[in-house]
Amino acid sequence: MHPEAGEPLTQPDRARIADAIAAAERATSGEIRVVLVRRSLLRGHVYPVLWASLVALLLPWLVALFRPMPLLALFAAQLVLFGGGALLLMLPGLAVCVTPRSVREEAAREMALTQFLALGIHKTRERTGVLILVAPADRVAEVVADQKIHACVGHDAWHAVCTHLIEGARAGRLADGLVAGVAETGRVLAAHFPPRPDKPNELPDHLVVV
């Protein structure tokens, strides 16, 4: 079964992810939520315009060093290069390539924090909620853990989770990457927060797509 138009995952894929969340939570008292961002998180076109400007400013002058041209023609070439380059680099796949990873990661962090609050993950009884967010269009992932978990685990523990998510998306196996990322999150949580028989399932297990 293939995803519907505009949908990154099939219904069986979503069921697999929900099952993975439920399985991970059986081994821990923590709570896991997964958010998939369908669109790019990048706002504006600062970096595509910046790179287009740089190319337009430099390339015609470099060509003019070896093949002299009238000043008017040089300015026209700069204008064409800027306009065409900016439009080309604004395409989603190329905009990611010219935008620094740190900028993309900060956008993912902001979205993850927003979703963490919007989904009420901070309201679990013992503050043991974890949000996993992946934005395939921007090739970034982020994990936000509530204060009790963060105090024990820290941020570095989630690198393997993000690696599963990004590699899965890059290879065209987004569902596999999400399932692997959830399983890794469960292992991290189980090492510090073992399951308790009186622990209710406080957060839904289904995938959230925004």
Q: Which residues contact 146 (CB under 8 A, 6 or more apart)?
A: 121, 122, 124, 127, 128, 129, 130
pTM: 0.79
In a domain, 5, yes or no: no
> What's residue 41's pLDDT?
84
Domain boundary (29, 64, 98) is at: 98
Same structural domain, 94 and 134: no
In a domain, 56, yes or no: yes
In a domain, 6, yes or no: no
From first to last of its 210 residues, the chain has per-residue pLDDT tens of 445 445 678 999 999 999 999 999 999 999 999 999 998 887 766 877 777 788 777 887 788 778 887 878 878 887 887 887 777 766 766 777 777 888 889 999 999 999 999 999 999 988 999 999 999 989 999 999 998 898 888 778 899 899 999 999 888 899 999 999 999 999 999 999 998 888 788 899 999 999
Domain boundary (98, 121, 140) is at: 98
> What's residue 147's pLDDT?
86
Same structural domain, 82 and 144: no
In a domain, 128, yes or no: yes
What number of other Cβ atoms are within 10 A of residue 184's Cβ?
A: 22
Same structural domain, 145 and 190: yes
In a domain, 133, yes or no: yes
How many domains would you assign to the chain? 2
Same structural domain, 84 and 132: no
In a domain, 3, yes or no: no
What CATH number is associated with residue 183? 3.10.310.50
> What's residue 187's pLDDT?
94
Same structural domain, 85 and 117: no
Same structural domain, 94 and 107: no
Closest CA to 185 of 163, 209, 167: 163
Same structural domain, 79 and 117: no
In a domain, 4, yes or no: no
In a domain, 2, yes or no: no
Same structural domain, 20 and 66: no
Domain boundary (34, 67, 98) is at: 98
Question: Which residues constitute the domain of residue 57?
Answer: 46-98
Same structural domain, 54 and 75: yes
Same structural domain, 110 and 88: no
Same structural domain, 123 and 153: yes
Same structural domain, 151 and 188: yes
